[in-house]
Amino acid sequence: MAILMGGPAFLLLGLFMIWPVIRGIDLSRTNQRFDGAQAAAVGWSNYDKILSVNVIRLPDIPDPLPEQAPTAGWYRSNDGELIFRWRARGLEEIGLGQYADYEIARQFSIGGNQYAVIAKDPLFWKSLLNNFYFALIVVPVQTGLALLLALLINQKLPYRNVFRTVYFSPVATAMVIIAVVWLFLYNPQFGLINQMLDFISGGKLGPYQWLQSSSMAMPAIMVMSIWQGVGFQMVIFLAGLQDIPEDLYEASGIDGANAWQKFRFVTLPMLRNTTIFVVLTTTILAFRLFDQVNVMTPDGGPNQSTATMVWYAIRRGWGQSEVGYASAVSIVFVGIVLIISLIQRGVIRSDTAE
């Protein structure tokens, strides 16, 4: 009987979730394009290109450095910067011929030795790291700020419904519109943020290249995203706060608990399941970051500093017509997000599950 009653739900689940994933996996093992060419099976080569990553030690820096840039190896640029030139045809000469299909994704130094993270698709890994960077900052900050706002507007203050509306209004506005507005706010010449900093500091701060700098572009998008999304989490926390019985606060007050102890030992435990839900949904929303990146930095930002997984999949699939490869990127990304969600769920187990 239960299976019969759940039949429509199972049918919709299979139709809109399981079947697209199966078709995506099938498509990812082809070289399907948008130009109408006949697709051919390529096996798991798309996944091999995406997931091939390695860390290698680069050759020691020669002394003296060559006067001209070699095909592959160390040299000093006209600006005096020390650079390792990576060219496939020259790697055999320096003992790295087996990595001819790779490119350098990142270089770093440990103990005076030079190392490099190399990958067959370095932009995939850079986009993935940008997603993690965004999520690690935005999820805790946005969750904490949402809880703080919910606590404030849960007080019996005058005009609190006005505050609720003001805080929630960015959520009801399309992200594209908000991104366009913030694009003007971040403008280095006439943007309101630079003008405000200039006014407050008496001309000592700014102007800053918010979206034109590789170190500031992603933090700038984080600030805008937190401002836009915090109202959604605030409403969820507010609903959780209003479900806490007032008797618990009165009993803790009789026992001599102060405001902090009431928050620590009554509010936080009672909001446990609400917090789990907020953290999980915020994490998933953080990993699907695309709209603001596509509007504010449509080319992925300076040095691809704002490239994200969804942006990258759409760029390969729609922009470069590599539908099969983009499907493989999407399948890998879905798997990563699923693993992260399961880990989160295991770490912060709900009271119901216990």
278-325 pLDDT, tens per residue?
A: 988 898 888 889 999 999 998 888 888 999 999 999 999 888 888 999
Burial class (CB in 10 A: 0-12, 13-18, 19+), 146: buried
- Model confidence at 156, pLDDT cuts 50, 70, 90, reads confident
Give the pair of three-digit tokens for residue 63: 């002394």
pLDDT in tens, 313-330: 999 988 888 899 999 999
pLDDT in tens, 163-207: 878 888 888 889 899 999 999 999 988 889 999 988 888 878 878
Paired with 108 in beta bridges are 115
Residue 25 structure tokens: 């996996």
Residues 280 and 126: their CA atoms lie apart, in Å, by: 23
pLDDT band at 350 (very low <50, low <70, confident <90, very high): low
For 288, residues 6+ apart whose C-beta sits below 8 A from its C-beta are 310
One-letter identity of residue 199: F
Span 23-46, pLDDT tens digits: 889 989 998 887 777 888 888 999
H/E segment holding residue 76: strand 73-76
Alpha carbon 267 to chain centroid, angstroms:
30
Please state, in angstroms and rounded to a whole number, the distance separating the CA atoms of residues 76 and 72.
13
What is the DSSP annotation of 172-216? TS-HHHHHHHHHHHT-TTT-HHHHHHHHHHTT-S----TTTSTTT
